[in-house]
């Protein structure tokens, strides 16, 4: 795996980033890089982070090949919107407005509101 840090300052920097990370997956990416660069074996890193062998190797090699910036989460694609244009604006406005009696005190995109949004969609 990795035998040393790419930059001597990376050890402290990665540890600080790991402590500040809000998401567990991002935090573990940093710790994997730190532990791997300190010379730990894959099995020891798996035990320390409770992550899979694939996860450990993927992020250790990402650090080795690309440095600390290679450990950052990349945007992922999502599903395309099922509502477009005016329908999307109306739904957004409806969700921003206060709930009405017919909503049962709830104004969110779930349950009946979602059914109404889907059935009133024009093609």
Pair (17, 65) in one structural domain: yes
Number of domains in the chain: 2
Reported pTM: 0.61
Residue 47, token pair as written in the block: 């035990």
Residue 64: domain span: 10-71
Pair (16, 62) in one structural domain: yes
pLDDT by residue, tens only, the chain of 123 residues: 777 898 889 999 999 999 999 999 999 999 999 999 999 999 999 999 999 999 999 999 999 999 999 999 887 787 777 777 888 888 777 777 766 666 665 555 555 555 555 555 544
Pair (66, 15) in one structural domain: yes
Q: Decide if 78 is inside a domain.
A: no
Pair (45, 96) in one structural domain: no
Residue 3, token pair as written in the block: 């035998």
Q: Decide if 110 is inside a domain.
A: yes
């Amino acid at each position: 795996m990795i035998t040393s840090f790419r930059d001597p300052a990376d050890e402290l920097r990665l540890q600080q980033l790991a402590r500040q990370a809000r998401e567990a997956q991002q935090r573990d990416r940093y710790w994997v890089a730190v532990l791997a660069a300190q010379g730990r074996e894959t099995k020891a890193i798996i035990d320390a982070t409770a992550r899979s062998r694939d996860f450990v190797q993927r992020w250790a090699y990402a650090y080795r090949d690309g440095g600390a910036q290679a450990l950052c989460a990349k945007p992922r694609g999502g599903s395309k919107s099922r509502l477009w244009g005016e329908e999307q604006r109306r739904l957004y406005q409806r969700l921003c407005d206060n709930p009405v009696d017919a909503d049962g005190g709830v104004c969110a995109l779930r349950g009946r509101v979602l059914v109404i949004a889907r059935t009133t969609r024009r093609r």
